[in-house]
Amino acid sequence: MTIAKGYSASDAKAKLQPYSFERRAPRQDDVSIDIKYCGVCHSDIHQARDEWGGSIFPMVPGHEIAGIVTAVGSKVSKFKVGDHVGVGCFVDSCTKCATRNVDLEQYMPGLVQTYNGIEADGVTPTMGGYSDHIVVKEGYVLSIPENLPLDAAAPLLCAGITLFSPLKHWKAGPGKKVAIIGLGGLGHMGVKIAHAMGADVTVLSQSLSKQEDGLRFGAASYYATNDPKTFEVLQGQFDLIINTVGASIDWNGYLNLLKVDGTMTLVGVPDAVVPPVNPFVLIGSRRNLAGSMIGSIKETQEMLDFCGKHNIVADIEIIPIQAINEAYDRVVKSDVRYRFVIDMASLA
């Protein structure tokens, strides 16, 4: 057992504060990781503020972890001391479940979240990456390509895979028109990855204030959704729309932008009830409304290798951990370009 230093929320209304807690003694199949950086995902805020219900406190958030291996158990074969590694949204899953074999463990009931979860022993709460070190089973540790800087690679572990997985599943690529709603942490990764996959990418943002960045990330077009004309000129244009917005917005206007057989995939989790979907918007053009959650370990490694090959990382703003509460407020106001990443050296 070791003592970890980190930041935690003691309840849904509390600001995050310094916190010490126990990490388990490494087992034979464990990898011990010195956490260098951790991205700040909007899901951290939803959970620390208990916006989805059922949050476990005290909570050490953080599931975009990038660090360096400091020790490996005797049965670990994939990693060695000094390797650049990442940990994403989950640290264990039900290995008995058949779907494990088709690499969909993120959808299994036995999934153990990196934080705000309970370990396989049924009692120990998991604590995330806003901390100085972590001990994780080898099978849930990812290899970060050496050419990617650890700080800007950290957000790939959630934002990157959350967009890579649906883009791949719905076959974004040459000849496909893809729209990304919301140019935040997830959205800006979606633009970069979809562009690298060869798709024609459009950003649908609330205003044109980030247009220059969106085009720099690889978008071919950029439209403001506060302009009603956007919903007229883009009708029936897209094969795939990925909605990254974590607020309640009316999906009907966006569904109308899909071609016949097009799909709108939700990855953003609305913080309130959304207006009802008009069935005719779907029926009239055989459109699909779908959802997607992170990605499997195998697919996350595939995404990291893809990003290594294409030199894709997040655009980040580095913060000391002492600035985490202000960072949360800024994310909620969509005032982030495009991911806050905590420099864990600030904990020392």
Residues in contact with ligand NAP by CB under 6 A are: 41-43, 46, 158, 162, 182-187, 205-206, 210, 244-247, 249, 267-269, 292-294, 331, 334, 336
Those residues with Cβ within 8 angstroms of residue 329's Cβ, 6 or more apart along the chain or in another chain: none
Write down the least CB distance from residue 63 to Zn ion, Å: 5
Closest to 303 in 3D by CA, of 137, 158, 179: 158
Write down the least CB distance from residue 130 to Zn ion, Å: 13
Write down the least CB distance from residue 202 to Zn ion, Å: 24
Q: How far is CA 166 from CA 30, 113, 199, 213, 243, in A?
A: 30, 20, 13, 23, 11
Contacted entry of Zn ion, ligand NAP, none for residue 296, CB cut-off 5 to 8 Å set by kind: none
Contacted entry of Zn ion, ligand NAP, none for residue 269, CB cut-off 5 to 8 Å set by kind: ligand NAP
Q: Which is nearer to ligand NAP, 90 or 306 (CB)?
A: 90
Which token pair is 148? 């990617």
Q: Which is nearer to ligand NAP, 32 or 55 (CB)?
A: 55
Cβ burial, residue 315 (10 Å; 0-12/13-18/19+): middle
What does residue 192 show for φ and ψ, rounded to 5 degrees? -65, -45
Q: Which is nearer to ligand NAP, 12 or 71 (CB)?
A: 12
Which residue is closest to ligand NAP by CB? 184
**Footprint of Zn ion on residues 29-58 (CB under 5 A)?**
41, 43
Which token pair is 62? 């953080």
Write down the least CB distance from residue 135 to ligand NAP, Å: 24
Contacted entry of ligand NAP, Zn ion, none for residue 87, CB cut-off 5 to 8 Å set by kind: none
Write down the least CB distance from residue 294 to Zn ion, Å: 8
Peptide bond into 58 cis (omega under 30): yes
Closest to 240 in 3D by CA, of 183, 295, 275, 200: 200
Contacted entry of Zn ion, ligand NAP, none for residue 265, CB cut-off 5 to 8 Å set by kind: none
CA distance 71 to 53: 36
DSSP helix/strand/coil, 273: coil
Contacted entry of ligand NAP, Zn ion, none for residue 46, CB cut-off 5 to 8 Å set by kind: ligand NAP
Q: Which is nearer to ligand NAP, 5 or 330 (CB)?
A: 330
Write down the least CB distance from residue 337 to Zn ion, Å: 18
Q: Which is nearer to ligand NAP, 186 or 304 (CB)?
A: 186
Angle at 105 between CA 103 and CA 106, to 5 degrees: 120
Helical segments of the chain, H only: 42-48, 150-153, 159-169, 185-197, 211-217, 230-233, 252-255, 279-283, 297-310, 324-332
Contacted entry of Zn ion, ligand NAP, none for residue 206, CB cut-off 5 to 8 Å set by kind: ligand NAP
Question: Using an 8 Å Cβ cutoff, are 181 and 242 in contact?
Answer: yes
Closest to 181 in 3D by CA, of 212, 143, 140, 224: 224
Contacted entry of ligand NAP, Zn ion, none for residue 39, CB cut-off 5 to 8 Å set by kind: none
Q: Which is nearer to ligand NAP, 69 or 191 (CB)?
A: 191
Write down the least CB distance from residue 294 to ligand NAP, Å: 4
Q: Which is nearer to ligand NAP, 42 or 195 (CB)?
A: 42
**Footprint of Zn ion on residues 140-199 (CB under 5 A)?**
158
Cβ burial, residue 144 (10 Å; 0-12/13-18/19+): buried
Q: Which is nearer to Zn ion, 41 or 321 (CB)?
A: 41
* Residues lying near Zn ion in the complex (CB under 5 A): 41, 43, 158
